Structure 1
Protein backbone atom coordinates (compact mmCIF):
# COMPACT_ATOMS: atom_id res chain seq x y z
CA UNK A 1 0.00 0.00 0.00
CA UNK A 2 1.38 3.40 -0.92
CA UNK A 3 1.84 6.32 1.42
CA UNK A 4 -0.94 8.14 -0.40
CA UNK A 5 -3.38 5.26 0.19
CA UNK A 6 -2.42 5.20 3.84
CA UNK A 7 -2.87 8.96 4.08
CA UNK A 8 -6.41 8.65 2.78
CA UNK A 9 -7.68 6.70 5.73
CA UNK A 10 -5.85 3.46 6.28
CA UNK A 11 -4.13 3.52 9.67
CA UNK A 12 -0.53 2.36 9.70
CA UNK A 13 0.63 -0.09 12.27
CA UNK A 14 2.75 2.01 14.65
CA UNK A 15 5.90 -0.08 14.23
CA UNK A 16 5.72 0.18 10.44
CA UNK A 17 5.10 3.94 10.56
CA UNK A 18 8.03 4.52 12.90
CA UNK A 19 10.35 2.38 10.75
CA UNK A 20 9.38 4.35 7.65
CA UNK A 21 9.81 7.64 9.50
CA UNK A 22 13.29 6.73 10.71
CA UNK A 23 14.34 5.47 7.29
CA UNK A 24 13.26 8.68 5.60
CA UNK A 25 14.94 10.76 8.29
CA UNK A 26 18.22 8.85 7.74
CA UNK A 27 18.02 9.33 3.98
CA UNK A 28 17.14 13.04 4.24
CA UNK A 29 20.00 13.65 6.66
CA UNK A 30 22.41 11.81 4.36
CA UNK A 31 21.49 14.10 1.47
CA UNK A 32 21.86 17.16 3.67
CA UNK A 33 25.40 16.05 4.60
CA UNK A 34 26.50 14.76 1.19
CA UNK A 35 24.99 17.48 -1.01
CA UNK A 36 24.27 20.30 1.40
CA UNK A 37 27.51 20.30 3.38
CA UNK A 38 25.62 20.14 6.67
CA UNK A 39 27.19 18.76 9.80
CA UNK A 40 25.80 15.58 11.35
CA UNK A 41 23.88 17.63 13.92
CA UNK A 42 22.51 20.10 11.37
CA UNK A 43 21.47 17.30 9.03
CA UNK A 44 19.70 15.38 11.78
CA UNK A 45 17.90 18.53 12.95
CA UNK A 46 16.75 19.25 9.39
CA UNK A 47 15.47 15.67 9.06
CA UNK A 48 13.58 15.87 12.35
CA UNK A 49 12.02 19.16 11.26
CA UNK A 50 10.98 17.83 7.86
CA UNK A 51 9.78 14.48 9.22
CA UNK A 52 8.12 15.18 12.57
CA UNK A 53 6.39 12.34 14.37
CA UNK A 54 2.64 12.39 13.75
CA UNK A 55 0.57 10.50 16.33
CA UNK A 56 -2.00 7.90 15.29
CA UNK A 57 -5.23 9.49 14.18
CA UNK A 58 -3.53 12.58 12.69
CA UNK A 59 -5.31 13.40 9.42
CA UNK A 60 -3.15 12.45 6.45
CA UNK A 61 -0.52 10.96 8.72
CA UNK A 62 2.59 10.24 6.72
CA UNK A 63 1.53 12.14 3.60
CA UNK A 64 5.11 13.39 3.36
CA UNK A 65 6.07 9.83 2.37
CA UNK A 66 4.40 10.19 -1.03
CA UNK A 67 7.80 11.34 -2.33
CA UNK A 68 11.10 9.99 -1.15
CA UNK A 69 13.55 11.87 1.03
CA UNK A 70 15.87 12.46 -1.95
CA UNK A 71 13.24 14.61 -3.64
CA UNK A 72 12.36 16.65 -0.55
CA UNK A 73 16.01 17.26 0.30
CA UNK A 74 16.86 18.31 -3.26
CA UNK A 75 13.95 20.75 -3.25
CA UNK A 76 15.35 22.25 -0.06
CA UNK A 77 18.92 22.42 -1.34
CA UNK A 78 18.48 23.21 -5.03
CA UNK A 79 14.96 24.63 -5.29
CA UNK A 80 11.94 23.82 -7.40
CA UNK A 81 12.55 22.05 -10.70
CA UNK A 82 16.04 21.05 -9.54
CA UNK A 83 15.86 18.13 -11.99
CA UNK A 84 15.79 20.54 -14.95
CA UNK A 85 18.62 22.75 -13.75
CA UNK A 86 20.62 19.81 -12.39
CA UNK A 87 19.64 16.75 -14.45
CA UNK A 88 22.42 14.76 -12.77
CA UNK A 89 20.36 15.04 -9.56
CA UNK A 90 17.09 13.80 -11.07
CA UNK A 91 17.72 10.35 -9.63
CA UNK A 92 19.61 9.50 -6.46
CA UNK A 93 23.02 7.82 -6.64
CA UNK A 94 23.78 4.27 -5.56
CA UNK A 95 25.13 5.52 -2.21
CA UNK A 96 21.71 6.94 -1.41
CA UNK A 97 19.95 3.72 -2.44
CA UNK A 98 22.30 1.80 -0.13
CA UNK A 99 20.80 3.68 2.84
CA UNK A 100 17.44 2.01 2.28
Structure 2
Protein backbone atom coordinates (compact mmCIF):
# COMPACT_ATOMS: atom_id res chain seq x y z
CA UNK A 1 0.00 0.00 0.00
CA UNK A 2 1.49 3.38 -0.97
CA UNK A 3 2.01 6.12 1.57
CA UNK A 4 0.31 9.45 0.89
CA UNK A 5 2.36 12.53 1.75
CA UNK A 6 0.12 15.57 1.97
CA UNK A 7 2.28 18.68 2.02
CA UNK A 8 5.50 16.65 1.62
CA UNK A 9 7.63 19.77 1.65
CA UNK A 10 6.55 20.49 5.19
CA UNK A 11 4.23 23.43 4.73
CA UNK A 12 4.78 26.97 5.89
CA UNK A 13 7.71 27.37 8.24
CA UNK A 14 9.31 24.08 7.24
CA UNK A 15 13.06 23.84 7.02
CA UNK A 16 13.05 21.16 4.28
CA UNK A 17 13.62 23.60 1.42
CA UNK A 18 16.26 25.49 3.41
CA UNK A 19 18.17 22.33 4.33
CA UNK A 20 21.83 22.71 3.24
CA UNK A 21 21.89 19.28 1.57
CA UNK A 22 18.74 20.02 -0.44
CA UNK A 23 20.08 23.47 -1.34
CA UNK A 24 23.47 22.09 -2.45
CA UNK A 25 21.99 19.33 -4.64
CA UNK A 26 19.46 21.74 -6.16
CA UNK A 27 22.17 24.25 -7.02
CA UNK A 28 24.43 21.60 -8.54
CA UNK A 29 21.55 20.31 -10.69
CA UNK A 30 20.12 23.70 -11.64
CA UNK A 31 16.80 22.66 -10.09
CA UNK A 32 14.62 24.12 -7.38
CA UNK A 33 14.93 22.79 -3.83
CA UNK A 34 11.28 21.72 -4.10
CA UNK A 35 12.02 19.57 -7.17
CA UNK A 36 14.89 17.86 -5.35
CA UNK A 37 12.79 17.24 -2.23
CA UNK A 38 9.86 15.88 -4.26
CA UNK A 39 12.10 13.64 -6.34
CA UNK A 40 13.65 12.27 -3.14
CA UNK A 41 10.23 11.67 -1.56
CA UNK A 42 8.92 9.87 -4.66
CA UNK A 43 12.02 7.77 -5.40
CA UNK A 44 10.63 4.45 -4.20
CA UNK A 45 7.35 4.64 -6.09
CA UNK A 46 5.61 3.83 -2.82
CA UNK A 47 4.88 7.45 -1.89
CA UNK A 48 2.15 9.58 -3.42
CA UNK A 49 2.95 13.26 -2.91
CA UNK A 50 0.31 15.98 -2.81
CA UNK A 51 2.02 19.38 -2.53
CA UNK A 52 -0.05 21.90 -0.62
CA UNK A 53 -0.28 25.62 -1.19
CA UNK A 54 -2.07 28.59 0.26
CA UNK A 55 -2.37 30.50 -3.01
CA UNK A 56 -3.54 29.89 -6.55
CA UNK A 57 -0.30 31.34 -7.94
CA UNK A 58 1.79 28.87 -5.94
CA UNK A 59 -0.40 25.96 -7.04
CA UNK A 60 0.25 26.94 -10.66
CA UNK A 61 3.98 27.31 -9.95
CA UNK A 62 4.05 23.89 -8.25
CA UNK A 63 2.25 22.26 -11.16
CA UNK A 64 4.32 23.79 -13.90
CA UNK A 65 7.81 23.88 -12.37
CA UNK A 66 8.34 21.96 -9.18
CA UNK A 67 5.96 19.03 -9.44
CA UNK A 68 6.88 18.41 -13.05
CA UNK A 69 10.58 18.64 -12.26
CA UNK A 70 10.11 16.38 -9.25
CA UNK A 71 8.54 13.78 -11.52
CA UNK A 72 11.33 13.81 -14.08
CA UNK A 73 14.38 14.56 -11.93
CA UNK A 74 16.33 11.39 -11.16
CA UNK A 75 18.72 11.76 -8.27
CA UNK A 76 21.83 9.61 -8.34
CA UNK A 77 22.56 7.08 -5.56
CA UNK A 78 25.04 9.40 -3.83
CA UNK A 79 22.51 12.26 -3.77
CA UNK A 80 19.85 9.91 -2.38
CA UNK A 81 22.27 8.73 0.31
CA UNK A 82 23.07 12.34 1.27
CA UNK A 83 19.36 13.20 1.54
CA UNK A 84 18.65 10.03 3.52
CA UNK A 85 21.41 11.03 5.95
CA UNK A 86 20.07 14.56 6.22
CA UNK A 87 16.52 13.51 7.02
CA UNK A 88 16.41 9.88 8.14
CA UNK A 89 19.21 9.68 10.68
TM-score by length of 2: 0.29
Structure number with the higher strand fraction is 2
The structure having more radius of gyration, on CA atoms, is 1
Structure number with the higher helix fraction is 1
TM-score by length of 1: 0.27
